[in-house]
Amino acid sequence: MSTEQDYIIQVKKATIFQGEQTVLDHVDFNILQGEFVYLIGKTGSGKSSLLKTLYADLPLEIGEIKMVGYHIHQMKEKEIPFMRRKIGIIFQDFELFYDRTVAENLEFIMLATGWRDQAKMKVRMAEVMMRVGLGGVNALDIGNSDKSGVSDAVDFIEKLRQTSDLSTIPIGRNVVVIGGGMTAVDAAVQSKLLGSEQVTIVYRRGREAMSASRYEQDLAAKHGVKLMFNVQPKRLHGNGAVAMLELEYTADEKGKLEATGETLHVAADQVFTAIGQTLKTDGSLVLEGRKIAVNGVGRTSRDGVWAGGDCASSGDDLTVTAVAEGRDAAMDIHTTLMGGA
């Protein structure tokens, strides 16, 4: 028989609010230590609101919640950080400080969680980054890609963040950014702010497939950035330096992206590539092509390391695939931690 000490979460007659609106009512459940629980429901059904209430991001006004020994309904604001240090939260939008490097993001978390020995911190950070292996950037594999005026968007953003004089950063009149993620949006918006007359993001799939959120897409549009969908780069044109980019229309045929053969040209005196990173490894992770080799549940060649999404060899570079892979890996991690195979 389970005792109260066995529960890591206890919710009794809780009402979950967003502002003044009731989202969930009469919520009652308990979760045991070691128990694996799914929370499912339609968009807008209150999943995120419940989770935010559990980790004290939304106030609990009616009912009781006990979370890892803390009474949420009685907890003072100064106690919230200490409660959160006892739980782990992985957000779907992976909140990072974009003005800091990967190492600086890791350092911030380590300092916040009690690390103080700088030598040990450096060793741990190096170990984490070595395990992941992200180091290179995918090359632009099209005709005449060696022309001047073509550069990596990550390098551009890094220079932008580190300079104290923005006038020292050269920017073209007609900028084209190739890619569909947050780096592409960031590079495009910053190009516009630096004075580019025309900035265009070109993405090979449809709007709904972009990894950049609709909010970020709209933000780019508000800054005057043009977004083009279902087009992929085919060839760069220009005498030494890039002057024009030839694009080819694409179509999704039964889940597979196909080139249609129909082309168009856009003016471009500067091209930024934001088409993802390639993996570099010291041998601790086996690669399959440009991606991490994994089995059916996301296990890599290294014990204790799982991978999924567009860095893994298991499937398409689609959000729905990444979510499914994350689910499968989480279940396998749980089984492993519980002493399974």
141 within some domain: no
C-alpha pair distances (Å), 52 with each of 17, 239, 251: 10, 56, 40
CATH at residue 35? 3.40.50.300
Contacts of 173 (CB under 8 A, 6+ apart): 196, 197, 198, 269
Give the per-residue pLDDT at 145: 66
336 within some domain: yes
Q: Are residues 270 and 156 both part of a single domain?
A: yes
Domain boundary (226, 258, 275) is at 275
Contacts of 51 (CB under 8 A, 6+ apart): 39
Domain boundary (251, 275, 299) is at 275
- pLDDT above 80: residue 289: no
Q: Are residues 71 and 34 both part of a single domain?
A: yes
- Range of weakest confidence among 55-59, 72-76, 115-119: 115-119
Q: Are residues 154 and 271 both part of a single domain?
A: yes
Which domain does 223 fall in, by range?
Answer: 150-275
Q: Are residues 194 and 270 both part of a single domain?
A: yes
Distance CA 227, CA 335 (A): 44
Q: Are residues 125 and 104 both part of a single domain?
A: yes
Q: Are residues 155 and 243 both part of a single domain?
A: yes
Q: Are residues 265 and 284 both part of a single domain?
A: no
Domain boundary (260, 275, 290) is at 275
Contact criterion met (CB below 8 Å) for 11 and 29: yes
254 within some domain: yes
53 within some domain: yes
What mean pLDDT is predicted for residues 256-284? Answer: 82
C-alpha pair distances (Å), 88 with each of 50, 185, 230, 300: 16, 29, 38, 22
140 within some domain: no
Contacts of 241 (CB under 8 A, 6+ apart): 147, 148, 149, 269
- Structural domains counted in the chain: 4
Q: With bands split at pLDDT 50, 70 and 90, how would you rate the model's confidence at 280? A: low
- pLDDT above 60: residue 82: yes
Give the per-residue pLDDT at 288: 82
Q: Are residues 197 and 208 both part of a single domain?
A: yes
- pLDDT above 90: residue 322: no
Q: pLDDT by residue (tens digit) across 189-198?
A: 999 999 999 9
Q: Which of 330, 327, 331, 301 is nearest to 313 (CA)?
A: 301
Q: Are residues 192 and 285 both part of a single domain?
A: no
Distance CA 107, CA 338 (A): 30
Distance CA 310, CA 292 (A): 9
Q: Are residues 192 and 306 both part of a single domain?
A: no
What mean pLDDT is predicted for residues 226-233? Answer: 94
pTM metric for this prediction: 0.49
Give the per-residue pLDDT at 98: 61
Highest mean pLDDT among 69-73, 113-117, 254-258: 69-73
Contact criterion met (CB below 8 Å) for 234 and 247: yes
- 150-152 and 270-273 beta bridge pairing: parallel
What count of other Cβ atoms lies within 10 Å of the Cβ of residue 135? 12
108 within some domain: yes
- pLDDT above 80: residue 316: no
CATH at residue 164? 3.50.50.60
Q: Are residues 231 and 317 both part of a single domain?
A: no
Q: With bands split at pLDDT 50, 70 and 90, how would you rate the model's confidence at 62? A: very high
317 within some domain: yes
Residue pointed to by tokens 């993802």: 276
- 134-137 and 277-279 beta bridge pairing: antiparallel
Q: Are residues 264 and 283 both part of a single domain?
A: no
Q: What value, to the nearest 5°, has the Cα angle with vertex 268 and ends 267 and 271?
A: 155
Helix, strand, coil percentages for the chain (3-state, nearest 5): 30, 30, 40
How does the average pLDDT of the chain come out, rounded?
Answer: 84
Q: pLDDT by residue (tens digit) across 133-152?
A: 554 555 566 766 677 898 88
